[in-house]
């Protein structure tokens, strides 16, 4: 290590390799903690950067910066550097099962011809990646690739492996935020709870590690909630059953679960901002929501949360519509007419100071005191109180919710504080039982990582009135290791064609697929597709003539719409 030029990227790569070589969380934590401590001692300015890079990120969570490079562009850049065709890279990637490993192999060959290189530093890698995010406009893809090319040309094969994975933000060394938090706590001898809280409130583990080292517990405790700065929303777990969940809480506040977009709304002085679950600012896309807030809530600093849905004649309509609104930049006024929004508020995080430690029961009361309801535009979530004795209140809410075209119910612990970014048992969700269809496998796509040498996703079809097969969805989740293997073995002899990572398969294997909802599809031959498809089992007991039909799908889709 050279103190003038900063620490070499290779040192970080060694850490990645060590992390990858164990599956034990405690070991990973110690590896990271040791490294953080080392950086803290030798090159403290690098600590926030290294913390982010260890997570496989270039920017902190709250940042709106993005690289605009994913697998395809990256493959092109790799092809350029290695002097091969992009298709060769794709083949290699399929065989290696991972773009990082493919990069390592490709550059390994190339490197033998290279004479010498200037060693990469962590700083250099990070600053070049940050530069990529700033490039836009004409020839931007080319310029981005030039930066990658420069990095690759001075990278060792092993370094290239992790640069590619970092660009894709998929480091895949088994380290996520939980492990990083533990490591920061261990490295700088602060309590884990304090690290956790600081992270909740800032969404910036780089900052947290820096403060932990420089100012310790005192510094971390000073970080706090501020209107204008979004925090990660508290998340819900699946409820195993309404009664069981309510009993476990003692009593519960149950609310309709609306099928829309979760938003966190901040008022800071004169400014109102609306953030999504991943902390993206969508204020410009939903001007009417800002207006409703101006009208219905106090002109004081606050943070509230709710769900935005689309309604027609006061009734909720398909989730697909709201996707037309969230990230829109153009023709906003026009869409505002066509796709009207409604906001249901259900929580408050800040009002006359932080309220996240206030029990939910009381937060709700505060929220109620803040809001002047606007019919059809802004309301509080529909809420009932349920105890084990009158569990029917919750059960009725559930059936009413589904009948009304909503998604189910939330079951909330009245005593719980608001825990940003935590998915715990203080807030549960209960949705309708999924439906199932019997579909035939007509193709597939090879997977990555764990699924590198399997078909990681199956293309499925229904039959039409002429017994022709029409595609309707891909399914990948729901397969355990054993089924993954068995299916691969069944499918292998049926493959008729391979193009890149995709294969075509003689139709014969039938899968039972669960799904939450049928949706209109611009992509699949049947004109429909499935929301949240899950593989349940292989149907060896029926034959291909028995699979479900386009007609059936169509009739079920209409049922859903007319609810």
Partner DNA sequence: TCTGATGCGTC
Partner DNA sequence: GTCGGAC
Partner DNA sequence: GTCCGACGACGCATCAGA
502 is in an annotated binding site: no
CB of 346 to DNA, least distance (A): 13
Nearer to DNA, 43 or 517 (CB): 517
Query: Coil, helix or strand for 409?
Result: strand
x-or-dash pattern for DNA, window 489-518, by CB under 7 A?
-------------------------x-x--
Taking the complex as a whole, the smallest distance from the CB of residue 357 to DNA amounts, in Å, to 18
Nearest alpha-carbon partner for 157 in 101, 115, 119, 117: 101
How far is Cα 207 from Cα 374, in angstroms, rounded to an integer? 40
Beta strand residue intervals within 159-244, DSSP E: 235-238
Residues 6+ apart with CB under 8 A from 207: 48, 60, 223
**191 marked ligand binding residue:** no
Stretch of 120-128, 212-220, 356-364, 471-479 contacting DNA, by CB under 7 A: 471-479
Task: Please identify, among the stretches 62-70, 118-126, 152-160, 396-404, the one whose residues bind DNA according to the rule CB under 7 A.
Answer: 62-70
Q: Which of residues 403-422 bind DNA (CB under 7 A)?
A: 422
423-452 residues near DNA, rule: CB under 7 A: 423-425, 429, 431, 434, 445, 447-451
Q: Where would I find the H helices in 43-191?
A: 47-54, 71-82, 86-96, 99-111, 122-134, 140-153, 157-167, 177-187
Q: Which is nearer to DNA, 358 or 529 (CB)?
A: 529
**59 has binding-site annotation:** no
523 is a contact residue toward DNA (CB under 7 A): yes
Neighbours of 520 (CB within 10 A): 12
- Residue 474 within binding range of DNA, rule CB under 7 A: yes
- Decide: is 54 part of the binding site for DNA (CB under 7 A): no
- Tell me: is residue 255 an annotated ligand-binding position: yes
Cα–Cα distance for residue pair 326/329, rounded to 1 Å = 9
262 is in an annotated binding site: yes
Catalytic pick among 161, 181, 229, 257 = 257
Please count the residues of this chain forming the interface with DNA, following the rule CB under 7 A. 91
Our finding on whether 519 is near DNA (CB under 7 A) is yes
**β-bridge mates for residue 441, sequence order:** 460
Phi, psi of 166, deg, nearest 5: -70, -40
Residue 306, Cβ neighbours under 10 Å: how many?
27
173 binds DNA, rule: CB under 7 A: yes
Residue whose structure tokens are 């949360």? 305
351 membership: H or E segment, kind and range: strand 341-351
- Residue from 30, 128, 141, 283 touching DNA (CB under 7 A): that is 141
Question: 92 exposed, middle or buried (CB, 10 Å; 0-12, 13-18, 19+)?
Answer: buried
Residue 48 lies near DNA (rule: CB under 7 A): no
What does the per-residue mask of binding to DNA show for 320-359, with x meaning CB under 7 A?
Answer: x--xx-xxxxx-----------------------------
429 among annotated binding-site residues? yes
Rounded least distance, CB 45 to DNA, Å: 25
User: What is the pattern of x (binds DNA, CB under 7 A) and - over residues 226-265?
Assistant: ----------xxx--------------------xxxx---
Q: Is 312 in the site for DNA (CB under 7 A)?
A: no
Q: Which of 11, 91, 170, 301 binds DNA (CB under 7 A)?
A: 170
Instruction: By CB under 7 A, name the one of 317, 319, 438, 464 that touches DNA.
Output: 319
Contact 225, 349 (CB under 8 A): yes
Shortest Cβ 221–DNA spacing (Å): 20
Whose structure tokens read 């094969």?
157
The verdict on whether 257 is a catalytic residue reads: yes
Virtual CA dihedral for 241, 242, 248, 251, nearest 10 degrees?
180
151, 81 Cβ separation under 8 angstroms: no
The helix or strand, by DSSP H or E, that contains position 498, with its residue range, turns out to be strand 495-499
How far, in Å, are 91, 277, 414, 459, 476 from residue 110 at the CA level? 17, 43, 62, 37, 36
307 labelled binding-site residue: yes
Q: Which residues pair with 515 in a beta bridge?
A: 435
Is residue 138 involved in binding DNA (CB under 7 A)?
Answer: yes
User: Does 522 contact DNA by CB under 7 A?
Assistant: yes
Among 69, 148, 163, 550, binds DNA (CB under 7 A): 69
Q: Which one, 40 or 444, has the nearer CB to DNA?
A: 444
Helix pair 71-82, 140-153: axis angle to 10 deg: 50
Helix (H, G, I), strand (E, B) or coil at 97: coil
41 lies in the binding site for DNA (CB under 7 A):
no
The minimum distance between CB 330 and DNA, in angstroms, equals 4
In angstroms, rounded to a whole number, what is the distance separating the alpha carbons of residues 501 and 94?
Answer: 6
Residue among 180, 220, 469, 487 that touches DNA (CB under 7 A): 180
Which residues are known to be catalytic? 257
Q: Where is the binding site, in residues?
A: 255, 262, 277, 307, 346, 423, 429
């Amino acid at each position: 290590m050279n103190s003038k030029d900063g620490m070499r990227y290779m040192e970080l790569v060694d850490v990645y390799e060590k992390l990858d070589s164990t599956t034990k969380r405690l070991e990973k934590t110690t590896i990271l903690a040791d490294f953080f401590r080392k950086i803290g001692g030798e090159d403290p300015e690098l600590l926030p950067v290294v913390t982010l890079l260890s997570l496989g990120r270039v920017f902190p969570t709250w940042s709106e910066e993005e690289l605009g490079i994913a697998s395809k562009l990256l493959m092109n850049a790799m092809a350029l550097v290695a002097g091969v065709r992009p298709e060769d890279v794709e083949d290699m990637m399929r065989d290696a099962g991972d773009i990082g490993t493919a990069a390592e192999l490709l550059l390994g060959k190339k490197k033998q011809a290279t004479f010498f290189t200037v060693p990469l530093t962590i700083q250099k890698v990070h600053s070049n990646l940050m530069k990529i995010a700033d490039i836009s406009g004409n020839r931007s893809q080319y310029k981005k690739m030039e930066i990658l090319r420069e990095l690759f040309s001075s990278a060792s094969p092993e370094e290239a492996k992790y640069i590619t994975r970092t660009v894709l933000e998929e480091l895949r060394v088994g380290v996520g935020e939980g492990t990083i938090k533990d490591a920061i706590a261990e490295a700088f001898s602060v309590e884990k709870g304090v690290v956790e809280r600081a992270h909740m409130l800032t969404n910036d583990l780089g900052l947290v590690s820096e403060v932990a080292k420089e100012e310790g517990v005192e510094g971390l405790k000073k970080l706090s909630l501020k209107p204008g700065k979004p925090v990660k929303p508290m998340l819900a777990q699946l409820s195993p059953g309404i009664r069981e969940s309510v009993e476990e809480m003692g009593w519960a506040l149950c609310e309709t679960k609306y099928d829309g977009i979760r938003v966190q709304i901040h008022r800071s002085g004169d400014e109102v901002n609306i953030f999504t679950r991943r902390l993206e600012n969508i204020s410009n896309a939903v001007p009417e929501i800002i207006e409703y807030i101006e009208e219905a809530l106090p002109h004081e600093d606050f943070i509230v949360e709710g769900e935005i849905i689309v309604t027609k004649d006061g009734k909720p309509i398909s989730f697909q519509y709201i996707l037309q609104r969230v990230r829109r930049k153009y023709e906003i006024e026009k869409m505002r007419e066509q796709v009207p929004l409604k906001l249901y508020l259900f929580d408050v995080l800040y009002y006359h100071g932080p309220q996240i430690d206030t029990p939910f029961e009381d937060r709700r009361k505060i929220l109620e005191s803040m809001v002047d309801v606007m019919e059809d535009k802004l309301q509080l979530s529909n809420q009932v109180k349920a105890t084990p004795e009158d569990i029917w209140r919750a059960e009725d809410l559930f059936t009413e919710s589904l009948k009304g075209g909503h998604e189910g119910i939330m079951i909330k612990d009245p005593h719980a504080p608001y825990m940003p970014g935590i998915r715990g048992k203080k807030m549960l969700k209960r949705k309708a039982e999924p439906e199932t269809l019997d579909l035939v496998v007509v193709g597939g796509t090879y997977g990555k990582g764990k699924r590198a040498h399997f078909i990681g996703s199956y293309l499925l079809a229904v039959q039409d009135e002429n017994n022709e097969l029409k595609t309707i969805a891909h399914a990948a989740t729901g397969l355990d290791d054993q089924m993954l293997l068995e299916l691969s073995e069944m499918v292998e002899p049926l493959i008729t064609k391979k193009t890149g990572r995709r294969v075509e398969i003689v139709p014969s294997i039938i899968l039972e697929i669960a799904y939450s909802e049928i949706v209109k599809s611009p992509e699949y031959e049947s004109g429909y597709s499935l929301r949240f498809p899950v593989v349940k089992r292989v149907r060896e007991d029926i034959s291909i003539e028995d699979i479900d039909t386009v007609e059936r799908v169509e009739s079920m889709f209409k049922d859903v719409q007319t609810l």
